[in-house]
Amino acid sequence: MILCVGFSQQTERRLLSTVNIVDRTCLPFQWQELAFEVNGHLEKVLDPSQGFPSNLLQAMRHGVLGPGKRLRPVLVVLASRVFHAKANPWPAASAVELVHAYSLIHDDLPAMDDDDLRRGRPTCHKLFGEAMAILAGDALLTLAFETLAKNYPSSISAPCCLELARGIGGAGMVGGQVQDLMWEGKIPSESPLGESLPGEQELERLHSRKTGALFQACLRMGYHVSQGQKTENSREDLLDLLDQYGQNIGLAFQVTDDLLDVEGNCQATGKRVGKDARKGKLTYPGLLGTERSKHLAGELCSRAKEIATQFGPGGLPFVELADFLATRDH
Model-wide pTM > 0.85: yes
Tens-digit pLDDT profile for residues 153-182: 999 999 999 999 999 999 999 999 999 999
Taking phi over 0 as left and psi of -120 to 50 as alpha, with beta for the rest, 282 belongs to: beta
CATH topology of domain 9-327: Farnesyl Diphosphate Synthase (1.10.600)
CA atoms within 13 A on the CB side of 96: 30
Calculate what percentage of the chain has a pLDDT beyond 70.
83
8 Å CB contact between 272 and 115:
yes
Tens-digit pLDDT profile for residues 100-136: 999 999 999 999 999 999 988 999 999 999 999 999 9
User: Which pLDDT belongs to residue 279?
Assistant: 84
Burial class of 279 by CB neighbour count within 10 A (0 to 12, 13 to 18, 19+): exposed
Task: Report the mean per-residue pLDDT for the chain.
Answer: 86
User: Which pLDDT belongs to residue 8?
Assistant: 42
Average pLDDT over residues 132-141: 99
The model's confidence at residue 306, banded by pLDDT at 50, 70 and 90, is very high
What residues are paired with 314 via a beta bridge? none
End-to-end CA distance of the chain: 15
> Residue 200: CB partners within 8 Å, gap ≥ 6?
287, 288
Domain boundaries along the sequence of the chain: 9-327
Average pLDDT over residues 285-306: 95
